[in-house]
Structure 1
C-alpha cells in the first residue's frame, strides 16, 4: 500500500508542519491536511481509481456520523465543566492537591496521577481530557510546570484506567475475547505498559522528550530514554538475549534507571546518565564475551 500510495503520507507531513512549523491553530492545520487528502484523492489515481463526487458525498456523510458522538460528548462535558466552575469544585480540588503536596512537586505529581486515574475511570479519551484539563491541570501549572507538560501528564494518566485494575476496561475486554482470567490480564497489561506510568513524569522533568530544546539535547535524551526502557524491561522480564540471573537483573535495572533519570530531576546531573551508559556498555561487553565462550565451547 505504501509503495503505491506513499503520497498519502503528505497530508500527515502537512499537518505536522502546519502545527509546529507555521504555528497554525489545530483547526486550520486539520483543514489544510483534509484539503490535501481530498485533492490527492481527486487528482491522483490509486490503483487506477479516482475519488468521484458520489464518493465525496459518502465520505462527508460518514465523517458527519463519526464526529456526532464527539459533538454530543463535548456538549455534555461543557455542561459539566460549567457546573464545576460555577460551584467552585475545580478551584477547591486545585487547592486541596497543592495543600496535600506541601510544596513538593513529586508529591503533587503522585497525587495528581492518582486523581487522574480515578477521574478517568470508564470515560472515553476526549471526555477524560476535558474533565482533567479543568480539574487537575491548573494545580500542576500553578506549581510551575509547563502547560504542555502538565496537559500531557493528565492525558496519559487519565487514559491509564484502561489497563489499571480494578476497572481496566481494555484489558477485561481483551480477556473476554481470549477466554483468559480478567484480573490476571489486567495486571499483565499493567506490567507490559509500565512505561506509560513513568513517561508522564519524564515529560515534567525533561522537556526535551516533548521536543523542546536544542536538537542535540533532544536526540541525547530520547536515546537515553529508549535505552532505559529496554534495560528496565529486560530486568522486569528476566530476559535479554538469554535468561537473566538475579545479579544480572539487578544490574540491568540499575542501568535502566540511571539512563532513564532526567538530568534535572531530584538534583541529578549528567553523571548519573554517564554511569548508566558505562554500566550498560559493561553489560553489553559481558554478554558478548559469554556468547563467544558459548560458541567456542560448542565448536
Structure 2
C-alpha cells in the first residue's frame, strides 16, 4: 500500500484532484476581491504554509540563498507571468472557450518538452494520444455550453491563453532540468511567496487596495485555495524532479482536472447532473490516458531491451 501511495501515477492524480477543486473557491473569492490581489494573498499564504511544514529555517534560508537566481526566475514565470496571462485571457473570453484552451495545455507542454529533451520526443503514438485527450476536453466543454466569438478582443484573449500554455510548458521544463539539489518543498514555498508578492505589488496600481470586510465564505475559500496550492504545487515539483520522469507524459494527467471538476460539481451542486455528452468526453479522456501510458510502457521496454543487447 505504501508503494502505491508513492507512485507517480497516484501522486499526479492527487495533485490534479486538488487543482480540480479550485474552480469553486476562485469563483467565491473573486466575488469579494480583485483577481491579482486575491491570488497574491493566496500564494503568499501557501508559501508560508509550506515553510512551516518544512520546519528547518536555517536549511530553508541556505537553499534560498544558494538558488536565488533560479527561484526568482521560476517565481516570475511559473507564478507571476502564468497567472497574469491566465486571468487577462479568461477576462476577454467566454468561459467555455477559456476552458477548452486551458484544457489543451498538455499538448503545448508536450511540444515544449519535444524541443527541450532528447528523450521526450513527440512520437506519432504520443501525439495521437494527446490529441484524443484534447478532443475529450472539447466534447465536455461544448457539451455544457456553446462557444461564441463576440468581438475582436477575444482573439487577444485566445493569444494570451495560448501563450500561457507555452509558458506553463517552459516552467515545467525549467524545474525538470534543474539539478541544483534544492528541495521541491523549498522550491515551491519560495516561488509561491515571491510570486505572490509580485502579484500583490502589481495589483495596487491596477486594482487598488481592498482590505475588506470579507464574509466567512471568502475566508473558507481562501483557506482551502491556500492549502491546495501548497500541496498540489509541492507534489508536482517533486514529480518533475524525479529521475526518468518525462514532462510530456506527466502533464497529460492534467486532462483529469476538468473531469474531476465536473464529477465534483455533480456531487456537491444540486443544479449539476451528469449528462451523456460529458460522460462521453470523460471516456475519450480515459482512452487518451490508457493509450499514452501503454505507449510509454512500450518505449520503456524498448529502451531496456537495447540496454541488455
In terms of Rg, which structure is larger? 1
| TM-score (norm: length of structure 1) | 0.33
| TM-score (norm: length of structure 2) | 0.33
